[in-house]
Amino acid sequence: MSSFSFEKIFPNDQGEFSIRRLFEKIFIEDWMMKLIALIITLALWFGVTGLRTPTTERLKNVTLKIRVSNEMEITNSPVQEVDLVISGDSRRIDQIRREDLIVSLDLGDALPGERTVEITPENVNDNLPPGVKLEEVQPSKIAITLEKVEKREIPVRAVTENNLPEGYEIYSMTVAPKNVPLRGPASFINSIDYVSTEPIDLSEKQGDFTAQQVPLKITNPKITVIDESVVDVFFRIGEKRIDRVFIVPVSNLPGKRTATLVLYGPRTILNAIDSSNMEAQLVLNESGTESLQFALPAEIQSQVVIKRQELNGK
């Protein structure tokens, strides 16, 4: 076989020879090394472009966040997860951490009421990486109920647990503050008559005490306390009370007239007194009617209550 010769292509003068030398340098000299480099380059190019082959994939159970204005609240239970149909570079799709993927639907301008909202690639925000496109969201429609948020002062009711020791009872419970401001959807707020405290333990309590910083029990997650979510509750506790009947002489009526007096108070105190420690008078009040007035021992006046009184005889 005859050898390759540039003279056959460039046979003439020096100018043609310089072009021949350039061609020889580019294509002939070290041709084996250049061939290997070309093969490596082509392999890399095919490898990269192969990874970038567009692909389509479905991502299931992606978190859906619905944003509404501060003056609105969602009161139904719309879907919280959707499926996404995406397309793009397969390498980038494989790198997606599905637990970090979130789709956001903005309803900040929506008005109160029930509505069906479409979910499309155009009206949601996503955190898909560059090179990956959102093609479809499923379901494509969801039902939403929006209510206006309201604020209202709600009375607080103290709740207790466990019994007092035998022979004792609660005389009174005072909550401070008496009312707390709550915030929530209108239908929820307007249906509440009171808010309860967490249970207060009464075991071994035999006298007055104050339960401080008692948490409020808010069972509905859509209702929140605007300010402090704790209250103080003051308890008056004492010996169990009974009714006791006394026949008391009426000092300013003739004929030894008497009056019946029913007192309500601690058993020990009422059992320690009798009618000889009391006195009754019939007086004319400002309206022109007669009524009984009783003089009780000073030491019991703040601890007993007159439940019933009656003038006896005629």
- State pTM to two decimals: 0.64
Query: Percent of the chain at pLDDT above 70?
Result: 84
The average pLDDT across 30-55 equals 65
Long-range contacts of 262-266 (CB under 8 A, 24+ apart): 262/306, 262/307, 262/308, 262/309, 263/304, 263/305, 263/306, 263/307, 264/304, 264/305, 264/306, 264/307, 265/241, 265/300, 265/303, 265/304, 265/305, 266/238, 266/239, 266/240, 266/241, 266/242, 266/303, 266/304
- pLDDT over threshold 70, residue 34: no
> How high is the pLDDT of residue 127?
86
- pLDDT over threshold 80, residue 22: no
- pLDDT over threshold 50, residue 13: no
Alpha helices (runs of H) in the chain, residue ranges in sequence order: 14-27, 31-51, 90-94, 186-189, 267-271
Distances (CA, A) of 142 to 64, 111, 139: 11, 16, 7
Residues 6+ away with beta carbon under 8 Å from 200: 158, 159, 160, 161, 211, 214, 233
> How high is the pLDDT of residue 254?
85
- pLDDT over threshold 70, residue 12: no
Q: Which of 124-128, 138-142, 184-188, 302-306 has the lowest mean pLDDT?
A: 124-128
> How high is the pLDDT of residue 152?
94
- The pLDDT tens digits of the residues spanning 281-309 come to 999 888 888 899 999 999 899 899 999 99
Beta bridge partners, 105, equal 66, 124
Give the amino acid at 61.
N
Beta bridge partners, 234, equal 174, 210
Quick one: which of 116, 188, 96 has its CA closest to 148? 188
- pLDDT over threshold 70, residue 47: no
- pLDDT over threshold 60, residue 4: no
- The pLDDT tens digits of the residues spanning 55-114 come to 888 999 999 999 999 899 999 989 999 999 999 888 888 888 878 888 999 999 999 999
> How high is the pLDDT of residue 15?
47
Domains of the chain: 6-51 (no CATH), 54-139 (2.170.120.30), 151-238 (2.170.120.40), 241-311 (no CATH)
> How high is the pLDDT of residue 7?
52
> How high is the pLDDT of residue 100?
84
Quick one: which of 169, 182, 170, 111 has its CA closest to 144? 111
The DSSP line for 181-218 is EEEEEHHHHTT-S-EEEPPEE-TT--S-EEEEEEEEE-
- The pLDDT tens digits of the residues spanning 211-269 come to 999 999 998 888 999 988 899 999 999 999 999 999 999 998 888 899 999 999 999 99
> How high is the pLDDT of residue 228?
83
The average pLDDT across 154-182 equals 96
> How high is the pLDDT of residue 233?
98
CA distance 57 to 43: 27
What is the CA 82 to chain-centroid distance, rounded? 23
Q: Strand locations in 226-286, DSSP E? A: 230-239, 241-249, 258-266, 279-284
Average pLDDT, the chain: 86
The average pLDDT across 134-151 equals 94
> How high is the pLDDT of residue 42?
65
- pLDDT over threshold 80, residue 117: yes
> How high is the pLDDT of residue 5?
52
